[in-house]
Amino acid sequence: MIYYTYMVRCSDGSLYTGYTNDLDKRLKAHNAGKGAKYTRSRCPVELVYNEEYKTKEEAMSREWHIKRLSRNKKEELIDGKL
């Protein structure tokens, strides 16, 4: 099974990071207002970054590291500069 670490930009400009094994289903849920509690009121969302991993632990670890980045570092990651 493949796991994804992803980042979406909400309609208010905020960024949300998560991990999933079904990226399409997760994005549809976010856009339907059924995503994580942070994105429920911020529809629609746009996928701005994703990576594939072979194990859930790798995806969770990467998500944890991305969540701790500053806003500027997240933007650099999105732009491919980090």
Element spanning 50, H or E:
strand 45-53
Query: Which token pair is 77?
Result: 């990651």
Q: For the chain, which ranges sit under pLDDT 70?
A: 34-43, 82
pLDDT of residue 38: 58
Q: Domain boundaries in the chain? A: 3-79
Report the alpha-carbon distance of residue 46 to residue 56 in Å, rounded: 23
- Residue 44 makes CB contacts below 8 A (sequence gap 6+) with 11, 30, 31
Check if CATH label 3.40.1440.10 holds for domain 3-79.
yes
pLDDT of residue 73: 93
Q: Are residues 20 and 4 in contact, defined by beta-carbon separation less than 8 angstroms? A: yes
Q: What is the pTM of this model?
A: 0.84
